[in-house]
Structure 1
Amino acid sequence: MSIQSQGRFLANVFPLVAGQAFFQTAGILVAALSGLVGYSLATDKALATLPVAMTSVGTALSLIPASMFMKKYGRRRGFMLGIGLGFLGGAVTSFGIYLVDFWLFVLGSMFVGAYQGFAQYYRFAAADAVAEGEKGKAISWVVSGGVFAAVAGPSIARFTKDIGDIPFLYSYLSLMGLSLCALLAVLRIRRDAGQAAAQEQHRAVRPLSEVLKRPAFIAAMASSTVGSAIMVMVMTATPITMKICGYDTDDSSLVIQWHVLGMFVPSFFTGDLIQRFGAVRIVSCGILIFLLHLSLALSGTELFHFTTGLIFLGIGWNFMFIGGTALLTKSYASGGQAKSQAFHDFMVYAVATLSSFLAGAALDRWGWSTVNLIAAPLLLAAFAVVQWYALTERKSQITR
């Protein structure tokens, strides 16, 4: 990469990395505290996790409208609208805490979820803004914003939850500050970095039904959905399992923090690996790393097994998710990216949300070992689909 092209790459991608970092910081803060706030505000304690669930609902409901908005008005305006929803969510949740109004807090949580829905497109904006050979690297850079969030999110939650007379109030007021920081970042998005989706409407667009049949799209869906489903299921079950095994909250928090770092630290080089070895090999490597987690999870319940296994779980997710996103960009080379991206992320998020709900039931009925064993056939299925895609690509290249 020449100095000029490298400068263009950084100018297009770095504001998106910053936007991702601030969005994920807000997301991790909310994930850490919403259950606790819900429990303190809800009269019926059975509803304590409703704010968490409604955040997920807000995200799922906003994914497709966000994509359609960006297709018509461009990425930058779409991100600004999403950030506005995040700012509003911070304000409404803060009022809910101040007024001790549970349902106002639930409403604000939905706005925060909607912000997260718009923010899912940062990595796609990065891919659209660079040359074909740099897409995997751009996606990887954006996802690496989670490294900052993995440190900043828990730190902000820890330092702000006890400020003032009202617990958690300043934590949720900080969402407004994080939204303003994200706004400053996306305002620096180059105009050409947000035009790819908008320009799509000026050329022939491949129908979504046709895109869904493409081997690249099928392989992308298999990689992203399986990787996310397994990661969410195991991550959700881990703190409960550790509590059953006699570990305290500090131990499980440390394990989850190492897991989050495992999810995002590899992003600094995953894109380069995809550029050098191809997305199929990286996804396949991610599946093998998932199996390393599986072997550790089944071999014991010492702190070493949880910590090391969850690190491998995070790295495996990183390779499968970024590799899957890179495959997705190949499926709409002839147009149709707005609908394809929206459908892909909606399905990934729906499957991950479902797996989080199933994790508790599976753990309660069958135990920790079975929760992990569920991953094995899913990983084998994803591996088969990705290898099938690679075979079809080789055949198509031979016939050209």
Structure 2
Amino acid sequence: MELGTARRRAMGALFTTVALTNTATVLTTTAGTLIAVETGTAAWSGLPSAAGVFGTACGALLAGRLTARKGRRFALLTGYSAATVGAIIAALGGIFGQLVVLLIGQAMLGLGNGAAQLSRYLAADLYPDSRKGFALSSVIWAGTIGALTGPLLIAPTAHVAAVLGLPELSGPILFATLAAGCAALASFLLPADDLNVSTAERKALPWRAIRLPVTAMVAAQVTMVAVMTMTPPQLHHLGHGLDVVGWILSAHIIGMFALAPLSGRFADRFGGRVTIACGIAVLAISTALSVALPESHTIGLPISLFLLGYGWNLMFVGGSSLLSRVLPAGSQGSIDAVVWGSSVLGSIGGGQLFGWGGYSLVAAAAGALVILPVLGGCFARRDEFRAAKPSNPA
């Protein structure tokens, strides 16, 4: 198979699996949150999301290790197979109203989501250095499909479940099972791993060589999660309905995913360091708007949440672009586990700050956190990355 054909086939498979897995994750998390409220109390509503985040972190770590040892196709197939089993378990939990069973399934589904997140590095490995940013950002963009279509599928799938005599909220999770299974099948379309640039020979790097991308990605993740998760409670506190919440979160999701290819092109043209710096600036503007206009649901918050998503995207793509050039697959998975695991800190910390001082305090603290890469002196010298870069054939 020609190199160009193999690349297109691989990118198509990666794009498809990420879109399907993200759709399944959105469906199960949304339905699981509502099931948790129905079977317990409102205080339990965050458990399905927490279980999914935990599974995602574990899945990223597992996928990285398996990729280094068995190759990308085996790693993705394992992750998506686990996700399919998890979705089935979660559906059973939804059908029989067993929250613990649902949480176990949600965590297993997260294993597939972790593999899907790591797919961006696999995409980057298929291309030379001059196109790595665009390659990995294309896979990130696939998340737009799940993020936007997932919520639209909740009502129709719930109706189908009701017609079949099942609990309505089990419908979205049953559809998620189908999506996860299709993702597992699509992973078979990946080419043999001899196409991949071997990452096994990349040696462990000193912390100073990777501290910029790692710190930037963690800071962006915590900042984004803290502000995003506290926006619905803020809007509810102001007396707005679900329509306003949905509109503002849609603006945020578009910012997170839809412009990813633009971020990738920017990273290829100007470098990951500059991309991260732009992301810091965008997140700073976003949090400043949230502090200044915490009650503006027509202008201030929609713009702020859009910029929150795009600032995260710039830092995520910029950091991933730098790491894709220097890290072996196992280390990529470990760092992804740290990044996604930090979401817990953003969620819990944001909730505590919201309770103490309201939405403006959350935004102010998040804005202070996002400049951590600068204050920590994390702008590593360019030659550290150049010296660490492996040879990469076009």
Q: Same fold (TM over 0.5)?
A: yes
1:159-170 matches, within 5 Å, as 159-163=156-160, 164=162, 165=165, 166-170=167-171
Deviates further, 380-389 or 227-236? 380-389
> Which 4+ residue blocks in structure 1 deviate beyond 6 angstroms?
394-397
Counterpart position of 2:392 = none
SS at match of 2:370: helix
Determine the C-alpha separation between the residues in 2 that align with 1:192 and 1:133: 21
Identical columns (%): 24
Please state how far the C-alpha of 1:371 moved relative to its aligned partner. 0.7
Please state how far the C-alpha of 1:59 moved relative to its aligned partner. 2.3
SS at match of 2:97: coil
Q: In 2, are the aligned partners of 1:12 and 1:193 still within 8 Å (CA)? A: no
Counterpart position of 1:224 = 217
1:206-217 matches, within 5 Å, as 206-207=203-204, 211-215=205-209, 217=210
Q: Deviations over 1:49-83 (max 9, x none)?
A: 33332222222333323222222111111111111
Counterpart position of 1:109 = 106
Alignment of 1:377 with 2:368, yes or no, is yes
Deviates further, 227-236 or 290-299? 290-299
Alignment of 1:343 with 2:338, yes or no, is no
Distance verdict in 2 for CA 1:268–1:330, change over 3 Å: closer
Determine the C-alpha separation between the residues in 1 that align with 2:102 and 2:284: 40
Determine the C-alpha separation between the residues in 2 that align with 1:149 and 1:281: 29
Determine the C-alpha separation between the residues in 2 that align with 1:349 and 1:161: 29
Counterpart position of 1:315 = 310
Q: In 2, are the aligned partners of 1:12 and 1:130 still within 8 Å (CA)? A: no
Please state how far the C-alpha of 1:27 moved relative to its aligned partner. 1.6
Please state how far the C-alpha of 1:7 moved relative to its aligned partner. 5.3
Unpaired segments ≥5 residues, structure 1: none
1:348-363 matches, within 5 Å, as 348-363=339-354
Determine the C-alpha separation between the residues in 2 that align with 1:394 and 1:142: 23
2:279 to 279, 286, 304: 286
Q: In 2, are the aligned partners of 1:280 and 1:386 still within 8 Å (CA)? A: no
Alignment of 1:364 with 2:359, yes or no, is no
Counterpart position of 2:247 = 254
Q: Deviations over 1:175-222 (max 9, x none)?
A: 1211132134322212247744xx445x4x523xxx24242x111112
1:1-400 matches, within 5 Å, as 9-42=7-40, 46-163=43-160, 164=162, 165=165, 166-192=167-193, 195-196=196-197, 199-201=198-200, 203=201, 205-207=202-204, 211-215=205-209, 217-300=210-293, 301-303=295-297, 304-332=299-327, 337-384=328-375, 388-390=379-381
Deviates further, 380-389 or 117-126? 380-389
Cα RMSD for the two superposed structures: 2.4
Distance verdict in 2 for CA 1:195–1:227, change over 3 Å: same
Please state how far the C-alpha of 1:382 moved relative to its aligned partner. 1.6
Q: Deviations over 1:234-279 (max 9, x none)?
A: 0001000111112112211211111001101111221111111111
Q: Deviations over 1:162-183 (max 9, x none)?
A: 3314111221110121113213
SS at match of 1:121: helix
Q: In 2, are the aligned partners of 1:219 and 1:385 still within 8 Å (CA)? A: no
Task: State TM-score, norm by structure 2.
Answer: 0.89
Please state how far the C-alpha of 1:47 moved relative to its aligned partner. 3.5
